Amino acid sequence: MRTRSNSGVRLDYYQRVVHKLILDHQQPVTGLFPASPHNDHAWIRDNLYCILAVWGLSMAFKKIADQDEDRAKTYELEQSCVKLMRGLLMAMMQQKEKVEKFKSTQHPLDALHAKYSSATGRTVVKDDEWGHLQIDSISLYLLILAQMTASGLQIVFSLDEVAFIQNLIFYIESAYCTPDYGIWERGDKTNHGLPELNASSIGMAKAALEAMNELDLFGARGGPSSVIHVLADEAQKCQAVLQSMLPRESNSKELDSGLLSIISYPAFAVDDPQLIAKTRDAIVIKLQGKYGCKRFLRDGHKNPREDPNRLYYEPWELRMFENIECEWPLFFCYLILDYCFQGDKANVSDYTQRLEKIMLRNDDGIKLVPELYAVPADKADLEQHEPGSQDRIPLGRCPFIWAQSLYILGKLLQEGFLAVGELDPLNRRLCSEKKPDVVVQIVILAEDNEIRDKLLEYDLHAQTIAEVAPIEVQPARVLSYLYTYLGRNKKLGLSGRKSRDVGILSTSKLYSLNDRIFAFTPQFSDMKRFYIASDYELMVDILKAEINFLKSSWQNLLGRPLVVLSLNQMYLDQGRIPMAMITTMKKLKSGYINGTRVTLGNLGDFLSTSAITNLSFLGSQEDGYPDKLNPRVQSYLEEHLLKSLSSKASCLARPAAGGGDRARALRRRMSVRGAIRKTRSINVDSETLGMEGEYAGPGKLERKPSWLEVDRASGRSPSPEDARKKFLANEVVYGGTSTTSLGAGTPTIEVTREQTPSPPKEGNSPGAAKAPRARVASESASVYAEQETDELLAALRETESLDEQGDILQYLVDAHGLDFNTGMLDNGRAVTVRELLKALYEKACAQKLWGLVRHTAGMLGKRVEDLAKAVTDLLVRQKQITVGMPPSNEHTITAPLPENELRQLIHLAYGDDESTAMLTQELLVYLAMFIRTEPQLFLEMLRLRVGLIIQVMATELSRTLSCDGEEASEHLLNLSPFEMKNLLYHILSGKEFAINSVGRGNFSIVSNKSTRYGKKSQIMLEGQSLQGNIDTAPLGEADRQGQWLRRRRLDGALNRVPRDFYPRVWAVLEKCQGLIIQGKILQPNLTQEMTSGELKFALAVETVLNSIPQPEYRQLVVEALMVLTLVVECKAVGHLGGAITVEHLVHKANQLFLDEQRRVGGDATLCCAKAEAGAGAALLCGGAAGVCQHLYDSAPSGSFGTMTHLARAAAALLLERLPHDAPLECAIT
């Protein structure tokens, strides 16, 4: 018998164990593992975890190969791994049409299957019979494929397989916004088959994308065509969403032990060490028990109280599973590996002891890890009263191979047969280590010599685009087109990448193609895209934000990021380079901007320090000419050398003075004046914001003169005359806003949403665009309708004012539709109204008339290019969005929608008010920018109500400028995009601000930090200062007055709540029979269905709070709820009794406040406290919902503060509910 070293003997033992427990079950034909001897289904995820022990053992043998048979064993074990990985690959490739379909639909029924037959590799259940969409299992496959390939195994054999795997990258690319069924295959924990966004899936996808990037699937023998390409931005999006979710797993699971697989081995997906520790600690504290960890709170699987006859749970029964969920030893295995990778020996031995205590032995004396430990049914009550007191019994499969495999890996690491680096050849474990600072390289290119010389005047040296040759500079859209060729394969029927989005991380690299080098300008600087790009101050601002973003997101990428900016004529302001740009360039030259290190230089200087990606996939691979460029790409690149635009502005130029009747033209112009203004729907008046005057109830619908109306009797649209008569019959006027009552008593008016044709999109079918939009309101229209359109066209030619041209075109669109032929000619071609509008839009952009720009953009049906992306960015960070004006027209967006549906929804929400619809799109883009760069602004906000934010912006302007609502909304719509973003920022951050006028009626918003402005807002108008004082300003504008009212109004509009608000409301709900707000009731059974930290619960509370239309009143209701939580937390009483109407507390507090004001002769004696407090008293000061303005304006603390009054109101409420005979015990000593 041969002698063997000790380590050899020990490894032979592990080899016997692995053979007996794992390899004996591997199917000889497909290489897959069946779930159990009686069930031949092979799950992708379980199979991958099973093979890890085999792979680990093969590497251990490779190291000690002191005899030939050891080498043979190594090879045998390695080939078992290859066999399994190829078996899964074949099973998935048989479903290649699903991969192709899923790239476009992301529909659960188009997903690759989660399990296959282990005997044949074919499917075993139908598409709709199982929750197949499990992005984490496909991602795990890619991750382990990458790790095994990096360790030297050859798994992929042909370029067709490479193309398939490239398409699997596209399959998981959108993980950050694709709800799936997750690691436990059940989606929402009620198990009704509702997919959710799962942090564990997103983390695994991020790890797979990073691991596969630039990986050669043929290993050391490959070439450029076997390399996988991943756009870095896709992994970054997963990273951002993951950071915003952890330690939460999903909407219905506030925590999940499955997260251990992404914070440590195998994924190492989290970069932030604090977040890793926070997640691990949460799992250990809330889920760990004696026998392992629970999968998640209220998990019903194999629970003694689970009804085995049905798959799903009723929402109310989830409460029964609390404290008796099954515990899984599997998670001890994860924790052991986690601590091995950290080198924490104490914890490794601690968890190994815990695990080995609960393992079972088989007949051969091998220790086995069981699947789970459950509480016996007869001991469930005892366990529920005292968690952890009862002994549990092992259930499920034994050994549970997934856990057994991880246990063996842990043992190999502990005994020194494997080093952590061998299990992780791609070094993923280092991604949370601290990295050196990123230096951002910046190149500024001038379009031509003229701009270059202008820059030289300021001592800024720039090259022209011609001078950087042979490097070619192209816009980002060219890169996005080139990437659509990635992964195309005719044989497999796979098209390339579907998404056309390329982010800043992708454009910050150089690209090589044969012997050419390309640089791409970032997507945000692409001028063709949208009007916000023509505001250079905003572009400078976005540039700063993007540089900051690069600093934080470039950590794990090679080389230094390179931003190429090209300056063209568009950015010049009256022939000069704007100062905002010059100062920024000087800052860039200094080497630091906003705390980021930058270096400004020539493109050639950065070739050696930048990342260069090879675009070899553009070759004609399938035709057998890999080195020859695909002919279609060739022609695209040739024609894409920058084209110039022929302007239509000539149509609007003034003709030579003809003999037209001047007076008639003037009258004709007057008749359409204000046509644009009539479409506005921003409302700063009382009935929606509850400022002055009583709220006009939900029965009233704010009426815009835009709905297409159909008379029931005649079935035709009413003539303007009929409409006017009807209008006068049903009109109530509040502060200049016409509101039409749609009560039961007026059946004559029908608001038909369906029949409002949505504004035709550009390039739509000709039929859709022809329908002219009927508008009933504009009286001038009815008076002059019969007169000829020619006079208007003549006036259009004559006028120089773009605003008048806008009004005329607005009238023409209303009367004739966008495709009406104006009879003008441009180079012999007839010109339509649409083309005139486009020309006007371009002129307005150039002259920076933003109100007109927004309106014409809306009429042309333009949409922000990144609208869908912006909305998705907000939604995936668990923020819901509503658009439309509250209270009656809000539409909630809870799931990502395609671009055109979003635009239709927004335009439906605002009726005919194009400007506000455009403004909404714009604000959504800014909100998305802020959530990417400053997520802390959005703390404790669940739902962003854009309509309310717009109203508050207008209210703030009207307060600061002391003007009325209509003027304020005009000012708001005329703010430049940069100032709009600025104003939104000040409102989100709650900072005080002042407004400066900068010529031509434009305003600039400045932070009110400097003493120059003091506390008051000032407007500097041509040198004279207009200070808002008490007489001219709205009520309460002295130094300190109005401050708390404003604070509450802002917080209410932004839906901001105090910290841990929702879990605390959950505790209140447990102690009473329900909470009533605005007639809606929060049922106590919500606590049966949901745990306190669950996002679904928070959304339920939020929905009820959102039924309050006035933001400051909503905020007082939140404060009242906080007082109730204090009552519960201090255990002042055992139970709060029946249902509590929260508004009663607020009104009671108001009553107490007014009584006190009368007693001390406070401010409120001038309004509400003056009269005998009756129903009409509230109208005196116009406080929202009948609560005195002065109460809204009181600080929360202090003896006159709102908390004092609310606490007294709560005490009064409890006094009514306590049994009168029982002695009172004081809980506070």
User: pLDDT band for position 303 (50/70/90)?
Assistant: very high
pLDDT value, residue 849: 87
pLDDT, tens only, 927-936: 999 998 888 8
pLDDT value, residue 241: 92
CA pair distance 873, 866, nearest whole angstrom: 10
pLDDT value, residue 266: 95
Tokens of 204: 């695994």
Least confident of 30-44, 596-610, 634-648, 869-883: 634-648
pLDDT, tens only, 1180-1220: 677 788 888 888 888 888 877 888 889 888 888 888 776 66
pLDDT, tens only, 1061-1085: 999 999 999 888 999 998 899 988 8
pLDDT value, residue 162: 96
CA pair distance 274, 291, nearest whole angstrom: 27
Within 10 angstroms of residue 1130's Cβ, the number of other Cβ atoms is: 10
Tokens of 1019: 């407007």
Tokens of 617: 């996939």
pLDDT value, residue 787: 54
Stretch 864-883: mean pLDDT:
87
pLDDT value, residue 509: 94
CA pair distance 1177, 307, nearest whole angstrom: 58
CA pair distance 402, 41, nearest whole angstrom: 15
pLDDT value, residue 128: 92
Q: What is the average pLDDT score of the chain?
A: 81
Q: Taking the CA atoms of 147, 148, 150 and 156 in sequence, report the sign of the dihedral they define.
A: negative
CA pair distance 202, 770, nearest whole angstrom: 45
Residue with more model confidence, 870 or 169:
169
Stretch 804-822: mean pLDDT:
80
Report the range out of 113-127, 429-443, 992-1006, 1120-1134 with the highest average pLDDT: 113-127
pLDDT, tens only, 50-88: 999 999 999 999 988 767 677 889 999 999 999 999 999
Q: Which of 78, 139, 182, 62 has the alpha carbon at shortest distance from 428? A: 139
- Token look-up 């053992």 returns 57
pLDDT value, residue 759: 39
- Nearest 10 degrees: CA dihedral of 876, 146, 91, 234? 20
pLDDT value, residue 1061: 93
Percentage of the chain exceeding pLDDT 90 = 43
pLDDT above 90 for 760:
no
Least confident of 127-131, 287-291, 617-621, 1219-1223: 1219-1223
**Cβ(300)–Cβ(306) below 8 Å:** yes
User: pLDDT band for position 320 (50/70/90)?
Assistant: very high
Stretch 931-958: mean pLDDT:
88
pLDDT value, residue 956: 84
pLDDT above 90 for 649:
no
pLDDT above 50 for 1010:
no
CA pair distance 1010, 234, nearest whole angstrom: 42
pLDDT value, residue 669: 54
User: pLDDT band for position 715 (50/70/90)?
Assistant: very low
Sort residue 1225 into left (φ over 0), alpha (ψ -120 to 50) or beta.
beta
- Give the global pTM: 0.84
Name the DSSP class of 993: E
**C-alpha dist (Å) from residue 424 to 211, 229, 262, 505:** 10, 21, 14, 25
**Cβ(1088)–Cβ(1025) below 8 Å:** no
**Cβ(534)–Cβ(575) below 8 Å:** no
**Cβ(768)–Cβ(638) below 8 Å:** no
Percentage of the chain exceeding pLDDT 70 = 83
Tokens of 127: 């598409």
pLDDT value, residue 714: 36
pLDDT value, residue 985: 92
Question: What SS3 class is residue 1156?
Answer: helix
pLDDT value, residue 499: 75
pLDDT value, residue 134: 97
Tell me phi and psi for residue 995, to 5 degrees. Answer: -125, 130
Sort residue 575 into left (φ over 0), alpha (ψ -120 to 50) or beta.
left
pLDDT value, residue 235: 93
pLDDT, tens only, 969-985: 888 999 999 999 999 99
User: pLDDT band for position 1040 (50/70/90)?
Assistant: low
pLDDT value, residue 998: 53
**Cβ(455)–Cβ(447) below 8 Å:** no
pLDDT, tens only, 170-181: 999 999 999 999
pLDDT, tens only, 411-430: 999 999 999 999 999 999 99
Stretch 32-43: mean pLDDT:
94
- Token look-up 């695909």 returns 630
Surface-to-core class of residue 910, CB atoms within 10 Å of its CB (0-12 exposed, 13-18 middle, 19+ buried): buried
pLDDT, tens only, 522-561: 988 775 557 777 788 888 888 999 999 999 889 778 899 9
Stretch 584-611: mean pLDDT:
92
Surface-to-core class of residue 712, CB atoms within 10 Å of its CB (0-12 exposed, 13-18 middle, 19+ buried): exposed
Q: Which of 481, 522, 514 has the alpha carbon at shortest distance from 498? A: 481
pLDDT above 90 for 658:
no
Stretch 1050-1058: mean pLDDT:
89
pLDDT, tens only, 386-404: 999 999 999 999 899 999 9
pLDDT, tens only, 81-115: 999 999 999 999 999 999 999 999 899 999 999 99
pLDDT above 80 for 1179:
no
Least confident of 206-210, 236-240, 683-687: 683-687
pLDDT above 80 for 616:
yes
Stretch 178-202: mean pLDDT:
92
Tokens of 868: 């869908």
pLDDT value, residue 5: 67
CA pair distance 618, 614, nearest whole angstrom: 10
pLDDT, tens only, 1125-1171: 988 888 877 788 788 899 899 999 998 988 888 888 887 777 877 75
Stretch 1093-1100: mean pLDDT:
90
Question: What SS3 class is residue 360?
Answer: strand
Residue with more model confidence, 1043 or 665:
1043
User: pLDDT band for position 585 (50/70/90)?
Assistant: very high
pLDDT above 90 for 26:
yes
In sequence order, the 6+-apart residues with CB closer than 8 A to the CB of 249 are 182, 198, 199, 200, 255, 256, 258, 259, 296
* Number of Cα atoms under 13 Å in the Cβ half of residue 1043: 13
Report the range out of 288-302, 937-951, 993-1007 with the highest average pLDDT: 288-302
pLDDT value, residue 737: 34
pLDDT value, residue 724: 40
Question: What SS3 class is residue 732?
Answer: strand
pLDDT value, residue 775: 37
**Cβ(908)–Cβ(753) below 8 Å:** yes
pLDDT above 80 for 351:
yes
Stretch 813-836: mean pLDDT:
78
